[in-house]
Copies of this chain bind each other. A is one copy, B any other.
């Protein structure tokens, strides 16, 4: 009993008291809280999107950085296209239109499963990338912490996981703080930066490290496409609002649509602001070294605010917080999506288990584990993780938009052509980005995801097939159970004592046909057992088996086989006296014979193994 309650207390300390089902309904979101909760993923990508563009361009020299402005503008344009495209999803799927559902409904189960695989990967990558970028913001401000980057990332994963096992996603108000703190800080940074640039007050930014080696390659289309592909990280998270429509206050669709457009506008503003200012302030990406690494945003904030003062630290803190919030979003999305996929029987049903606190605990644990593995494998380096991030995001974008096109074509309705056209533009645009990412980032890690998606789809299918087979085997249609009326009960004993007497008592209650079985390994001991049996055997016949190999198991299993053969269709029950020690470590002092017998008989039909517990008090 003691370990049960010890574990219980520990669990309660970590994840809190159970929450009753009737409290499951979330507080509905206003536009203000909705923006805070649903836009953290999209907005937070501003922290690394510009950086990823210039880190690629610098390879062709400082002059090539000028190309970042047109690349940024193309990405901003795409972002708006995708946002308007998703705005249509809001109206078409007021109950929440994730890529899995949209693709499955309109393009068929395979497309749905591809979208599902892409999304699950996407969520894992969101956690890894956001935490890595959040840690990068911290170590930009505090370079001496750079050596502990991986450990800090892992600590974040653990804290967010515990928070989510407790069910923190319920409280929207707390989450508004980091998002609005970030929006305000970044807008202040951009406004100050623009003002200084216009008034000619740009001070040179002193690099805090070695600049990235530049000019090692000529500027060419491939390089520009790679920079573009990297910059498209700015678009991640745009879909979040369309997934969360039912969480809004009524009128849900209208509130969600407005929130989406506000978010898109903020995204474009912040992303273009950082990109333009990085050019204006001649920010150059630095080489990562053991001494640390300073992000573009950190350099920019230093330059604009004239050093590491309060405004600088505010920007870094806000960036870290919103990135952690973005990671937290995936901790709500991954378990929810995996529970939906499990409900459709494409994932193990354990993903549907809701814990005491109404969280899908298994999804949270799997996500934490995978994100932790990625952070360790890539040493918490955002730049190394990015190529793996993009594939999942754009596969799901493309399938979702393509699904919408199909939906409009099939359903028709007023103005369906213009709706379909808008989604088609979205699908083609995101599809093109997908191709660009797959080609330019293939060798850097995109291949892993291109390989994983079909593997996951095949696994989903095999899980589905298994459940279908089980359902078929369990089906009661045309089922005529055999008549079984007899139960032969065997009680294997290793001596005569209270636990055996109790097991015998139980055996006699459950069947009139009981036999005790003893394996003879020592003549004197056998004689003693036979003697005591006369007193305590309660009229139950004692079968004594001989053992050639001293093994107790083999003769016993042979005898069970033989008894089973007497009435092949009826039940045979093995009743075992089983000690329940007073302390868990006392288990180590007893042979686990009951366990062995259970293991050996597990695969035998019509054979039931029953332990009658005998409780040791000390």
Interface residues, chain A, with chain B CB atoms under 8 Å away: 1, 4, 18-22, 348-350, 353-354, 356, 358, 463, 466-467, 469-470, 473-476, 479, 481, 484-487, 496-499, 501-502, 505-506, 509-511, 532, 535-536, 547-551, 571, 573, 579-580, 586, 588-591, 600, 602-605, 607-618
Contacts and interface: CB of A to CB of B under 8 A. Distances in A.
Contact of A466 (B481, B510, B589): B589
A130 B204 CA distance: 70
B354 A550 contact: yes
A284 B603 CA distance: 66
A586 B466 contact: yes
Determine which residue in A19, A473, A501, A580 has the highest number of CB atoms from chain B within 10 A of its CB, and name it. Answer: A473
B547 A21 contact: yes
B349 A470 contact: no
Contacts of A588: 348
A1 B603 contact: yes
B612 A608 contact: yes
Contacts of A608: 506, 610-613
A463 B581 CA distance: 13
A548 B20 contact: yes
B605 A613 contact: yes
Nearest to A18: B549
Q: Which 6 A-B pairs have the closest CB atoms?
A: A474-B497, A510-B510, A610-B610, A348-B589, A21-B550, A474-B498
B463 A589 contact: yes
Contacts of A349: 589-591
A477 to B, nearest CB: 10
Given A463-B589, A589-B463, A610-B610, A551 B356 contact: yes
Nearest to A499: B474
22 contacts: A4-B600, A18-B551, A21-B549, A349-B591, A356-B549, A356-B551, A466-B589, A469-B616, A473-B498, A476-B536, A484-B505, A487-B509, A509-B571, A510-B511, A573-B610, A580-B602, A602-B613, A603-B615, A605-B615, A607-B613, A608-B612, A610-B610
